[in-house]
Chain A
Amino acid sequence: MKEKKYTLISIAAVAIFLIIWQICAAMNPGGMLPTPVAVVKAFFLKFTDKNPDGATMLVHLGASLKVALSGYLIGLLIGIPLGICMAWYKKFDWFARPLFDLIRPVPGIAWIPLMIILFGIGLLSKSMVIFISSFTACVINSYSGIKQTESVHLWVGQIYGASNTTQLFKIAIPTALPMIMTGMKAALGTSWGALIAAELLASTKGLGFMIQQSRGLMRVDIIIAGMAMIGIVGALLGVLLNLLEKLVLRGGRW
């Protein structure tokens, strides 16, 4: 009963906000604030309309996703094993850690100009930036995940004669899985952000490019529609990861 009341309050709050927005925007037409109705219209129109930036919403979205996912997946493929190895093999850690600590404090976004000079403004440079952004989060989380393994569990493994590798795969990595999933989620967030930054700076396609172009043309309705799309897709990717997490962890954290 009570929950229902609060849901109604939430709906009312959003409705009031939209109404105020509509009134404010309608009162000064031609200003920098389109009405919510105009934004929704622009959002749906953009699915079929190539104007003013040369491609429809879905084409931009496809371009963005291609860059983001390729960089993200490479980040996972390299970052997670690296973090695991650093945590498990002490000697490896001694060599890899200082190098990792060297690049860790630099936000992924700061590599954009360098990558553009080295690799141009195509897929490769942006993927590299996203790779670096997701890589750090993956390494840190899988590292601390493995480090959480309780010595007692390893002792049990040793008593039953498990080899070092078996202990890693059967004890340490299962322990680390929840943390690894957390890292994947964090990495997704930073990658999505880095992608938009990279597209704002240099690209010819993609959601970031779309809103950048619309800024030049003062098409605030398309900017907000683009931001909405970025938010929706980001949220959807997050939901997908949550589903994957449920599947991998069988519905709970152990």
Chain B
Amino acid sequence: MTKKLFKDRDDFWRLICGIIAILGFLLIWHFGTNGTRLGEIMPGPIVILKSFFEAFTQKTAGYTIFGHTFWSLSRVLVGYSVACVLGISLGLLMGRYRLAEAIFRPFYEMIRPIPPIAWISLAILWFGLGETMAYFIIFLSAFNNITINVFMGTKSINQELVGCAKMLGANEAQVFRTVVIPATIPYIFAGMQIGISSSWAAVVAAEMVRSSKGLGFLIVSGMDINNISQIFVGILAIGIVGFLLATIMRGVEGKLCQWNVRGK
């Protein structure tokens, strides 16, 4: 019983310490940039917060902050969805069927060590400067992570469970549907979680290299016009969206994997 009380007190102090830490950081930043030489190139936190809220209504480079976020998210949605479908299918196939592994694994292993961002130049030449290039880069970065996780997950299935299902009368297709897929779901989610954060990083990179809208474009155009507060506004939005995406994915996993220790 005392344990709960202590936990509450700990939580209280944790909150206080957190507030002190962040306030302290902001204060150092504020006074470090207020009237000092550093302040000539680096804006203080107040300026940045002000521009962040201004960006809600004012258009920078053609869109409000919501517009840029929307563009980035829509790109992620396309590339990421395709990566989920293909990555999960390929991972399951390679993990379950040795023949599929023999055919696809060499290609996969060749592509895997190349950072998806390194494909940008090639993608621009192949697909032009349009959206397809961004979709492709996002697809690649999510696909790599999802495939490897699903593949490993499928490989690590308890073979006794497969035998068990067969003894209960399941044929190969039924084993696949009722054992292989559910047993791999925690790994699918692990892959999808890493996939969403890497595709979020990829969209920023792709937009930085070539785009005219999106959060990555927002920060890179901030760089071009030497506007640091615009860069910070972009970084803030990237961080918030990244955080929300990760939280949503964790929530979905918790809901769907109640049976799993990881899901708890």
Contact = CB atoms under 8 A, between A and B. Distances in A.
A96 B113 CA distance: 33
A223 B116 contact: no
A114 B125 contact: no
Nearest to B226: A117
Contacts of B117: 109, 193, 196-197, 200
A110 B122 contact: no
Contacts of B113: 230-232, 234-235, 238
Given A106-B239, A197-B208, A117 B223 contact: yes
Contact of A201 (B21, B110, B125, B220): B220
Contact of A215 (B121, B208, B220, B232): B121
Interface in B173-225: 197, 200-201, 204-205, 208-209, 216, 219-220, 222-223
Nearest to B201: A107
Contact of A10 (B103, B197, B234, B243): B103
Range class of the A interface residue count: 35 or more
A91 B14 CA distance: 8
Contacts of B205: 109, 197
A201 B228 contact: no
Interface in A36-50: none
A99 B235 contact: no
A110 B204 contact: yes
Contact of B219 (A113, A220, A231): A113
Given A106-B238, A211-B121, A220-B125, A113 B17 contact: no
Contacts, number: 160
Contacts of B10: 90
A10 B99 CA distance: 9
Contacts of B239: 102-103, 105-106, 110
Given A9-B102, A114-B235, A227-B118, A98 B22 contact: yes
Interface residues of B, number: 60
B107 interface: yes
Interface in A197-217: 197, 200-201, 207-208, 211-212, 214-215
A10 B105 contact: yes
A123 to B, nearest CB: 18
Given A10-B103, A114-B228, A189-B115, 15 more contacts: A6-B101, A6-B102, A9-B99, A9-B102, A98-B17, A109-B117, A109-B208, A114-B231, A200-B117, A200-B121, A215-B125, A230-B115, A231-B110, A231-B111, A234-B115
6 contacts: A103-B239, A105-B242, A106-B242, A107-B197, A211-B122, A223-B125
Interface of A: 2, 6-7, 9-10, 13-14, 17, 32, 90-91, 94-99, 102-103, 105-114, 116-118, 189, 192-193, 196-197, 200-201, 207-208, 211-212, 214-215, 218, 220, 223-224, 226-228, 230-232, 234-235, 238
Which 6 A-B pairs have CB atoms at the shortest separation, nearest pair first?
A107-B201, A193-B115, A113-B223, A94-B17, A105-B242, A98-B18
Interface of B: 10, 13-14, 17-22, 25, 41-42, 98-99, 101-107, 110-111, 113-122, 124-126, 197, 200-201, 204-205, 208-209, 216, 219-220, 222-223, 226, 228, 231-232, 234-235, 238-240, 242-243, 246
